[in-house]
Structure 1
């Protein structure tokens, strides 16, 4: 059995392995970031850190986010960093049998390396994403994460300086 979180994006069922998920949080509108990749919605505060939020619809299908009451943000691990993925709705955590997973090896019909496999279910096909390759090679996202890391380090430095000043 393989545990997956199944969710909807552009009305398609998608999944990620549960071990890649840190948390699912309710939707909150991110603060936009100027001059970044189209699929980066902006940032929110999460666990006292700045979390980039990605519009999964825009990344996968080129469409804009359509806000609704069931929207969630899935906080995932990517390249030792955390990212938020906006999704239309969460279906739930599902246990799939190994024989439900099918890999596509036909390069003519399948050239997206971020699709790990297809999961056959009674309600249709679920696309399992590979979060590690979903944003691979995206220079803007790498720069954004490095900038946020610098911001976190500056906040730590400011706290350290404040503590040092108070002790004198």
Structure 2
């Protein structure tokens, strides 16, 4: 049965990506289908390093926070999907970084602007973005957002 594209409701989807360029490219590929085939509004929430990549592909950018270089160094030291217990309880830098990224991901679901400064909120000319679904990696930084907002979460990994 063929689907009438005009009958599909237009959704606001937040693509939340923490990681490497390859991680961002994976979700951007999916975002292109969501935007161009189905007409959904897609916002890419990721590191500032990937702003141009998101915008060059026609997406709204939102700063999810986090220093990419420090994150990559941390991932090299802790290559498992779930960090060692010692790291979780003793690494204050990681806790601070994760808190910043969690805050950025939370705000990317409803805040106007691009998340880089409070002045960008007032200057935003776009209609409000209210996410009704999140597609993301990795899981530990998203569960609190979807639980609080009551919206679905789809996890993707490379």
Q: Give the TM-score taking structure 1 as reference length.
A: 0.26
Q: Where is the helix percentage greater, Structure 1 or Structure 2?
A: 2
Question: Which has the greater radius of gyration?
Answer: 1
Q: Where is the strand percentage greater, Structure 1 or Structure 2?
A: 1
